[in-house]
Amino acid sequence: MSNFTKTKTLVCLIFSLWITTLQAATQAQGTGLAITEQQAIALFYQRNLGLIAASFNIDDARAQEIIAAAIPNPVFSFTISSLTPNMFREPNNSVSSLPAISPQIEQLIETAGKRRLRIESSELATEAVSLDLKDTARTLTNAVRRGFYSLLLAQKSAQIAGENYERYREILRVNEVRLRVGDIAATDFTRIEVESLKAQADQDQAKTVLNQARADLLLLLGWPENSLEISAVDAWPETNPALAKAGQDQLAELALERRPDLQAARVRIEQAGKMLTLANRLAIPDVTVNAFYQRDPGNFFTESAGLGFSVPLPLFYRQEGEISKARINLSTSELALKQAEQSVRADLMKALSAWQSAAAISQRFESSALKRIENLRKAQEIAYQKGAVGLLELIDAERNYKAMMLDYYTALANRSNAWADLLMAYGEEVKL
């Protein structure tokens, strides 16, 4: 048997072991705690510090409700009068020389339904803060989804880089044998060495990107237990057919109803109306009712009682400043709603356009390009084993396959990110 024949036999044997080697490498990379997208979102709701901090605003708003509903406490006073120096000097004082005592109590009574308006306003404020929390969760959930897709893309890129490096290692090992028997030129062997080093550098870079994507996602998830071993389940998101097929105008109308930021803006308009009414009611004075009892042994009538009231007279100031401020606040709230509605329409238009474009690109990959590039690589590998093509053709096929697969997974990540943006713009319901 000639050296060339022996070399070809060895090449075929080594190439037949490639798939087994790559499968083992892939299984080794797949160890660790794998989570789905929904599990990542659930962890985020439980552990994210920003979301937990935002929830404290609800407790603060509820405390403001208690303050707004509080009834003014009555004021009690106790007065001792008719004190004379002799009453402390003479041991046998008569009853008429004893001091007079007068306990008194005052109670402020709010008029014109001011307390009721404060209660209603504070309840609306709590509702608005609750909607703010949902809106915060809406935007942060989008960040979690994007972080999950970035991690999944980084895993795919690392997997491709690892497979590519393993293939070049096998090619390099095979051609070392061919170089020793003189079946390949030294320049060709040097070229494959350079390609192998590039593949190794790509693998190292892919691992770095993977660790960065994992760290970014874990930061959002609050670093749960076994966090260093976390990985994303190999599953890109499935689209909602009804939502995907809906038109722009239909989605815009739904978003204007569903978005928590718009709901909060409408509630704040209602609250601002209550505060304007309250500011007008403040011009109506409150009444202070007071009652007293007096016991004066030195008086002809030793015991007496009285009842009175006091009212401030709004002669010089009738809350004009507060009324003007409340009216401006109402106008500002109405303007903020109009601006938010315009922003929602723009966000939805951009998100829908981006998703349709990304979906079309990934669809073109799946319908034709992937099959062709996979078949071309396999054909080049078989042809190289049989000596029908040279090393350069094989390297070119490996490069094209790697570039095409990276482009495909990038397209999938772009489609997933665009879908997440569409859900955020649409106002997908967030269950905290």
Helix, strand, or coil (residue 293): strand
Q: Is residue 432 part of a domain?
A: no
pLDDT for the residue 24: 37
pLDDT for the residue 431: 62
Q: Is residue 361 part of a domain?
A: yes
Q: Is residue 10 part of a domain?
A: yes
In eight-state DSSP terms, residue 85 is: T
Q: Are 293 and 305 in contact (CB under 8 A)?
A: yes
Q: Are 276 and 323 in contact (CB under 8 A)?
A: yes
Model confidence at 355: pLDDT above 50: yes
Integer CA distances (angstroms), 381 to 21, 26, 372, 402, in order: 16, 21, 14, 14
Q: Is residue 273 part of a domain?
A: yes
Q: Are 161 and 202 in contact (CB under 8 A)?
A: yes
pLDDT in tens, 157-211: 999 999 989 988 888 888 888 888 887 888 888 888 898 899 999 999 999 999 9
Q: Is residue 431 part of a domain?
A: no
pTM assigned to the model: 0.77
Q: Is residue 131 part of a domain?
A: yes
The CATH code of the domain that includes 183 is: 1.20.1600.10
Phi and psi dihedrals of 93, rounded to 5? -75, 145
pLDDT for the residue 180: 85
Cα gap 420→248, rounded to integer Å: 16
pLDDT for the residue 15: 38
pLDDT in tens, 112-166: 999 999 999 999 999 999 999 999 999 999 999 999 999 999 999 999 999 989 9
Residue type, 375: N
Count: domains in the chain? 1
Q: Is residue 231 part of a domain?
A: yes
Most confident region among 178-187, 223-232, 331-340 by mean pLDDT: 331-340
- Mean pLDDT value of segment 298-307: 82
Q: Is residue 74 part of a domain?
A: yes
Q: Which residue has the higher pLDDT, 78 or 177?
A: 78
What is the chain's mean pLDDT, rounded? 84
pLDDT for the residue 93: 53
* Among candidate residues 175, 220, 168, the one with its CA nearest the CA of residue 198: 168
The continuous run of DSSP H or E covering 106 comes out as: strand 100-109
Domain that holds residue 194: 3-82+93-426
